[in-house]
Amino acid sequence: MAIPNVRIPSRQLYIDGEWREPVKKNRIPIISPATEEIIGEIPAATEEDVDIAVEAARRALARDDWGSTTGAQRAKYLRAIAAKILERKSELAKLESLDCGKTLFEAAWDMDDVAASFEYYADLAEALDSKRKTPVDLHLDSFKTYVLREPLGVVGLITPWNYPLLMATWKVAPALAAGCAAILKPSELASITCLELGEICREVGLPPGALNILTGLGHEAGSPLVSHPDVDKIAFTGIGPTGIKIMTAAAQLVKPVTLELGGKSPLVVFDDIPNIDIAVEWTLFGCFWTSGQICSATSRLIIQDTIASQFLDRLLEWTKNIKISDPLEEDCKLGPVISRGQYEKVLKLISTAKNEGATILYGGERPQHLKKGYYIQPTIITDVDTSMEIWKEEVFGPVLCVKTFKTEEEAIELANDTKYGLGAAILSKDLERCERFTKAFQSGIVWINCSQPCFWQPPWGGKKRSGFGRELGEWSLENYLNIKQVTQYVSDEPWAFYKSPSKL
């Protein structure tokens, strides 16, 4: 039985520590992925609102209550935010589930991670105080040099809809820990919990302008943020074409960017796996978790031919057992995809694969028991050729394509046969083989005997067309710091480069 819906809060833009109506007073409907009904609305920012938010952020950096804070002072705000997240965990999880179609269990899991991330970056903010001024040994008596770690400035954070509050936190928490003033632009397809973060910041007394939240369309709010001359950096997670536009616009101002642009990650399974069911479950989790809407999803199963038939039979049995339902229902393991546009895109890719000669082993359609909502059955596609679109392009839906291999060399070639390079996984009991594949995989993340576990301490990011830069861990904090060299001449002796004029 579905859990009763919670009320969708009606919010404005969060600018300078208060709720502010958009200059043009526009709003965007919130459409439930589970019912296709309008369940609320969000404010739609435009260029005028971006200007106001940037000015607020600049003022925050100039004020002592934010611009002159220590890491320890900022840590108190981050911990207060974490506590509020946990206090409102149940409500926020339901809002997240209603907004993006994520199962309630996963949404609650995400809220725990959100709180833990704020706590983690509170610790790093405190540690930053001892690293803020770092001496550099020059081996000279006449000079002293040190390096200052300072906030980079005003940063624009553009985040996706698959993990609305968690992906925002991956950027907001380190940006605030570093002492930057941030402007968050979440996806217009899922913004509810990001706006609630604004209310939490207001309640804990985060200084005005330290975090501003602008919801709205990408071309109306995101583009002006990227090209604004007073925004010092852009961090973006999303699709490749948008990342290219952001990089191009930022280049006009020589503005630094970090980009995480998705992937088409491989999962290589060898015939020495000790337990086929454990391997099957990691295969399912690696591709169907969050309805397959994961940038790092291991959506290309590359399996050794000697166990392919047995493995696929068991995979099919497990897949048929996945509960697809309203994401608020107990034990739901697969909810809808985010929107009608995404629903149609995924079904078109499946249809194209079939037309190109692939076999739809299972799924590929709307579940018969769900007449409304953007639901797609978990889909397994075999007889895939490497020239097919389904092999090459990111689907961002519950679709797994399968190929077999005979040798390690063939498996590595298939694994790296992609323009992306975010994640890669190997399942094998041979740890020396796992080490060989770890080195051979052209990716930023490698999983051994698992797929998709993500923690806030290690770095996250890719290579090739999956983007560049790293989030999470200490690496993310570095994204928001400026490194300044300070050198002082301490000798009483003249420099004596030029000849001194004769004394009169």
Q: What is the CATH number of the domain that holds 429?
A: 3.40.309.10
- The pLDDT-based confidence of 2 (bands split at 50, 70, 90) is very low
The domain containing residue 42 runs over which residues? Answer: 13-261+466-487
Does residue 309 fall inside a structural domain? Answer: yes
- The pLDDT-based confidence of 5 (bands split at 50, 70, 90) is low
Q: Residue type at 15?
A: I
- HSE at residue 270, side-chain half, CA atoms within 13 A, is 21
238 plus 216 within the same structural domain: yes
- The pLDDT-based confidence of 295 (bands split at 50, 70, 90) is very high
Does residue 154 fall inside a structural domain? Answer: yes
The answer to whether 292 and 396 have CB atoms below 8 angstroms apart is yes
Q: What is the average pLDDT across 352-364?
A: 97
pLDDT of 255 above 90:
yes
pLDDT at 500: 86
210 plus 314 within the same structural domain: no
The enclosing domain of 50 has a CATH number of: 3.40.605.10
Tokens for 101? 């179609």
Does residue 180 fall inside a structural domain? Answer: yes
412 plus 482 within the same structural domain: no
418 plus 366 within the same structural domain: yes
Does residue 90 fall inside a structural domain? Answer: yes
Q: What is the average pLDDT across 74-91?
A: 98
240 plus 276 within the same structural domain: no
293 plus 407 within the same structural domain: yes
226 plus 335 within the same structural domain: no
pLDDT at 340: 97
pLDDT of 3 above 90:
no
Instruction: Give catalytic residue positions.
Output: 260
DSSP labels, 375-420: ----EEEES--TTSHHHHS---SSEEEEEEESSHHHHHHHHT-SS-
pLDDT at 1: 38
For residue 279, CA distances in Å to 275, 303, 332, 334, 426 come to 7, 11, 21, 19, 10
Summary mean pLDDT of the chain: 96
203 plus 131 within the same structural domain: yes
Does residue 333 fall inside a structural domain? Answer: yes
Does residue 56 fall inside a structural domain? Answer: yes
| Domain endpoint, select from 417, 448, 479 | 448
- What's the domain count of the chain? 2
208 plus 357 within the same structural domain: no
pLDDT in tens, 406-428: 999 999 999 999 999 999 999 99
311 plus 402 within the same structural domain: yes
Does residue 4 fall inside a structural domain? Answer: no
pLDDT of 279 above 90:
yes
The answer to whether 246 and 158 have CB atoms below 8 angstroms apart is yes
Instruction: Give percent of the chain above pLDDT 90.
Output: 97
Does residue 461 fall inside a structural domain? Answer: no
223 plus 336 within the same structural domain: no
244 plus 277 within the same structural domain: no
